[in-house]
Structure 1
Amino acid sequence: MHRRDFIKTTALTGLAAATTSHTDLMAAHHKSKRKFTLAFYGGSLGIQANQKQAIKLASRFGFESVEAQSGYLANLSQGEADELIGWMKQKNIDWGSSRLPIDFRKDRAKFEADLSELPKRAAGLKRARVSLVNTWIRPYSDDLTYNQNFKQHTRRLWEVARILQDHDLRLGFEYVGTTTLLIRAKYPFLHTLAETQELVTAIGTSNVGYVIDSWHWWQAGDSAEAIHKIDPATITLVDLNDAPKGVEKQQQMDTVRELPMATGVIDLKPFLEALVKIGYTGPVRAEPFNQPLRDLDDDAAAKVTINALKKAVALVGG
């Protein structure tokens, strides 16, 4: 990856608003009420790291959980998985969630090909004692009306959920609320928490739920009160992001975001307070789609991100 010192310096200056002092972070930690973990997901930060590299980076910079890579874990024996878990415990790192390795958004042939590999991936996750899986719902279609798309999602994700359920895995769906994406194609689709709840109900298995992203929560006009009504056990991942200044809310671009607390455009306090109130215990990651962050070397990107996450959770006691 192309790295340049002057880019690093510029980026760190631009990201400095998302950091806070070590003393402040430690003071906040002692009065923390949260049960969720601060999670390292390298791909969200522009960091290419295999499973063991990700665990090392997470431990080095003070993250508390790490993304589970199903492709790697599927090839481990039970003994190897147990050894990995023991090593993670020594480093005080828990599992976050694992990305669903299936493209259910395209044609049936692609979906079935991916689905045929899912039992192996799911078995690997279970051996490693991973319990959470995440995916996202595309909020538009060129070909399917809302009702047609809803029915297709219900059928396909029911098939996925049944396999995951057989391996004690929960699946969360991230709704994408970005306004500019809703006009990208002919037919808009599910893009709010309420609509996601309708999909969860339609699928009907006991292991499906939600991924909640502060960006999409804000874009969709959802509220903290809506989060209060969610069973925390149904949330498999939370994304924490901020938005650029100087851009109207309905003109914001989905792939141009900021680290949490970088600008204050998104009011994260009620969002985080809601997670604390319901007792959410899963992973919270940053997913900023931020080019200056991606231009940093891996250590610098990890450090800036954990500082941003800790500054955010200081709003609710650290």
Structure 2
Amino acid sequence: MYKGFSSGMLGFGGRKIEEDIPLAVKYGYGGIIIDIVEESKKDPAQFNDLLAKNKLKNGGFGLPVEFRQSEEKFEEGLKKFPACCEFAQKTGALRCITWLSPASDTLDYKSNFELHKTRLAKAAKILENHGIRFGLEFVGPPSSRKGKKYEFIHNLATLDELLDAIGASNMGYLMDVYHWDLAGQSYKDFKKIPGKEWVVMAHINDAPAGLAPEDQQDLERELPGATGVLKIGDFMKGLQDLKYDGPVYVEPFYKPFKTMAFEDALKMSTAAMDKIWTKWE
């Protein structure tokens, strides 16, 4: 596995990759996630040269198709998706990820399951045709389901049911230690994962101290290793045991970053990641 750079995951969306690449190199990152819609407007050969010159891997991209809203919006996004995937295939962006809402006020579990199965299978097929793996992330905190009429996928077991129902050979997990831990998953659950190809991408962070698991809020987190609330050591060991070879990104939703310059926030994030990383190199 390698350290992945993402300004967006640190809360600084909208930056250009040409701005970020020098900082990724400066702070020792091995790869960088891309905005597939924006970057696919460029010449793939020139984009490859840019990454190669800076010795960075293409760390994948987020699914640009909106599958949680209307059928019309979904189909509209799906029509544009193959062009994005062609660029991704040519530039080595062979990891695509998205997240699943853990509850709904309008769809019961069965109806929601069928919607996700049908729509995500279509996206998975296009990705599969371009040699791209597709990782899904469950949202684990109980607070994310509180007050909603219907619960939905929010742990490994229920996510596996969806993956089995879709049946695509290129599908697997986006694994976030925050969701993993707060869903009640543990190191032993890594034994249920058939192989490293099932882990498409990984996120690390920590949770605020002094809160019960049911009181943790999804968008209020800490830098990796800051509090020791999450079992990040077990999480990293599980990835290492699987021989996971993809990117690991910091996604902290860390409030102090909102008032900081990007490079200052990056320095803090990198320092936190490096403390964790030295144990697993």
TM-score interval, normalised by the smaller of the two chains: over 0.9
How far 1:83 sits from its partner (Å)?
Answer: 2.0
- 3-state SS in 2 of match to 1:196: helix
Aligned match of 1:153: 116
Picking from 290, 301, 304, the partner of 2:254 is: 290
- Does residue 136 (structure 1) correspond to residue 92 (structure 2)? The answer is no
Aligned match of 1:304: 268
**Amino acid across the alignment from 2:87:** G
Structure 1: how far apart are the matches of 2:216 and 2:92? Answer: 38
- 3-state SS in 2 of match to 1:150: helix
Aligned match of 2:11: 46
Structure 2: how far apart are the matches of 1:317 and 1:143? Answer: 44
Kindly provide the CA deviation profile for residues 110-164 of structure 1, in whole angstroms up to 9, marking residues without a partner as x. 1111111101111111111111001000001111111111111000000001111
Structure 1: how far apart are the matches of 2:97 and 2:32? Answer: 13
Picking from 154, 176, 201, the partner of 1:213 is: 176
- 3-state SS in 2 of match to 1:80: helix
- 3-state SS in 2 of match to 1:96: strand
Structure 1: how far apart are the matches of 2:123 and 2:26? Answer: 35
Structure 2: how far apart are the matches of 1:95 and 1:305? Answer: 20
Change over 3 Å in CA distance of 1:143–1:225 after alignment to 2:
same
How far 1:268 sits from its partner (Å)?
Answer: 1.1
Change over 3 Å in CA distance of 1:167–1:252 after alignment to 2:
same
Aligned match of 2:26: 60
- State which structure, 1 or 2, has the greater radius of gyration over its C-alpha atoms: 1
Number of aligned positions between the proteins: 279
Kindly provide the CA deviation profile for residues 167-212 of structure 1, in whole angstroms up to 9, marking residues without a partner as x. 1111100000111011242111000011111111111111111001
Aligned match of 2:245: 281
Aligned match of 2:48: 82
Aligned match of 2:204: 240
Question: Which deviates further from its counterpart, 213-222 or 70-79?
Answer: 70-79
Structure 2: how far apart are the matches of 1:196 and 1:150? Answer: 10
- 3-state SS in 2 of match to 1:105: coil
Structure 2: how far apart are the matches of 1:224 and 1:295? Answer: 36
Unaligned 5+ segments in structure 1 are 1-35
How far 1:228 sits from its partner (Å)?
Answer: 2.9
**Amino acid across the alignment from 1:50:** K
- Point out which structure has higher relative CO (alpha carbons under 8 A, 6+ apart): 1
Aligned match of 2:37: 71
Q: Is the 8 A contact 1:228 1:277 kept in 2?
A: no
Q: Is the 8 A contact 1:81 1:127 kept in 2?
A: no
CA RMSD of aligned residues (A): 1.3
Question: Which deviates further from its counterpart, 76-85 or 197-206?
Answer: 76-85
Picking from 265, 268, 272, the partner of 2:236 is: 272
Structure 2: how far apart are the matches of 1:298 and 1:152? Answer: 38
Structure 2: how far apart are the matches of 1:78 and 1:285? Answer: 24
Unaligned 5+ segments in structure 2 are none
Aligned match of 1:185: 148
How high is the TM-score relative to the length of structure 1? Answer: 0.85
Change over 3 Å in CA distance of 1:123–1:184 after alignment to 2:
farther
Kindly provide the CA deviation profile for residues 60-92 of structure 1, in whole angstroms up to 9, marking residues without a partner as x. 111221102212331223432332232232xxx
Structure 2: how far apart are the matches of 1:168 and 1:283? Answer: 18
